[in-house]
Amino acid sequence: LQPAGVSCVGVLLESHISFHTWPDEGVITLDLFTCGSNPLVPVVPVIEKLFGVPRINPETGLKQETRSVWSHELRGFRSFD
Protein backbone atom coordinates (compact mmCIF):
# COMPACT_ATOMS: atom_id res chain seq x y z
CA LEU A 1 0.00 0.00 0.00
CA GLN A 2 1.43 3.38 -0.94
CA PRO A 3 1.23 5.51 1.04
CA ALA A 4 1.07 3.31 4.13
CA GLY A 5 -1.66 4.01 6.67
CA VAL A 6 -5.08 3.04 7.92
CA SER A 7 -8.45 4.78 7.98
CA CYS A 8 -11.43 3.60 9.99
CA VAL A 9 -14.91 4.90 10.84
CA GLY A 10 -17.29 3.69 13.53
CA VAL A 11 -20.89 4.91 13.66
CA LEU A 12 -23.26 4.51 16.60
CA LEU A 13 -26.71 6.00 16.06
CA GLU A 14 -25.98 9.74 16.10
CA SER A 15 -22.33 9.53 17.19
CA HIS A 16 -19.15 8.58 15.35
CA ILE A 17 -15.41 8.22 15.59
CA SER A 18 -13.01 8.15 12.69
CA PHE A 19 -9.26 8.03 12.45
CA HIS A 20 -6.65 8.24 9.73
CA THR A 21 -2.99 7.35 10.16
CA TRP A 22 0.19 8.36 8.38
CA PRO A 23 2.82 6.16 10.08
CA ASP A 24 5.73 7.48 8.02
CA GLU A 25 5.04 10.96 9.38
CA GLY A 26 4.02 9.75 12.87
CA VAL A 27 0.57 11.30 12.51
CA ILE A 28 -2.91 10.15 13.50
CA THR A 29 -6.01 12.29 13.11
CA LEU A 30 -9.08 11.57 15.20
CA ASP A 31 -12.61 12.85 14.69
CA LEU A 32 -14.97 12.33 17.61
CA PHE A 33 -18.60 13.40 17.56
CA THR A 34 -21.36 12.70 20.03
CA CYS A 35 -24.85 14.07 20.46
CA GLY A 36 -24.64 13.24 24.17
CA SER A 37 -24.51 15.85 26.91
CA ASN A 38 -21.03 14.90 28.17
CA PRO A 39 -18.12 16.91 26.73
CA LEU A 40 -15.34 15.03 24.95
CA VAL A 41 -12.50 17.38 25.91
CA PRO A 42 -11.89 15.58 29.27
CA VAL A 43 -11.05 12.35 27.39
CA VAL A 44 -8.25 13.99 25.36
CA PRO A 45 -5.50 12.99 27.87
CA VAL A 46 -6.67 9.36 27.68
CA ILE A 47 -6.61 9.46 23.88
CA GLU A 48 -3.12 11.01 23.93
CA LYS A 49 -1.92 8.27 26.27
CA LEU A 50 -3.41 5.49 24.12
CA PHE A 51 -2.50 6.82 20.67
CA GLY A 52 0.36 9.27 21.20
CA VAL A 53 3.63 7.81 20.01
CA PRO A 54 6.65 9.90 20.97
CA ARG A 55 9.08 10.72 18.21
CA ILE A 56 12.76 9.93 18.57
CA ASN A 57 15.12 12.89 18.50
CA PRO A 58 17.57 12.02 15.70
CA GLU A 59 20.43 13.88 17.37
CA THR A 60 20.13 12.39 20.86
CA GLY A 61 18.22 9.16 20.23
CA LEU A 62 15.90 10.09 23.13
CA LYS A 63 12.11 10.01 23.03
CA GLN A 64 10.47 13.39 22.68
CA GLU A 65 7.25 14.34 24.44
CA THR A 66 4.07 13.48 22.54
CA ARG A 67 2.62 16.55 20.88
CA SER A 68 -1.07 17.09 20.13
CA VAL A 69 -2.35 19.78 17.80
CA TRP A 70 -6.00 20.75 17.45
CA SER A 71 -7.09 20.71 13.82
CA HIS A 72 -8.68 24.16 14.00
CA GLU A 73 -5.20 25.51 14.82
CA LEU A 74 -3.72 23.78 11.79
CA ARG A 75 -6.45 25.20 9.57
CA GLY A 76 -5.90 28.75 10.83
CA PHE A 77 -9.13 29.15 12.79
CA ARG A 78 -9.29 31.29 15.88
CA SER A 79 -8.18 29.77 19.16
CA PHE A 80 -10.07 30.70 22.30
CA ASP A 81 -7.23 29.69 24.66
| Residues noted as catalytic | 15, 20, 35
Instruction: Give the whole-angstrom CA distance, residue 68 versus residue 34.
Output: 21
Instruction: Give the whole-angstrom CA distance, residue 14 versus residue 49.
Output: 26
Cβ within 8 Å of residue 73, ≥6 positions away: 79
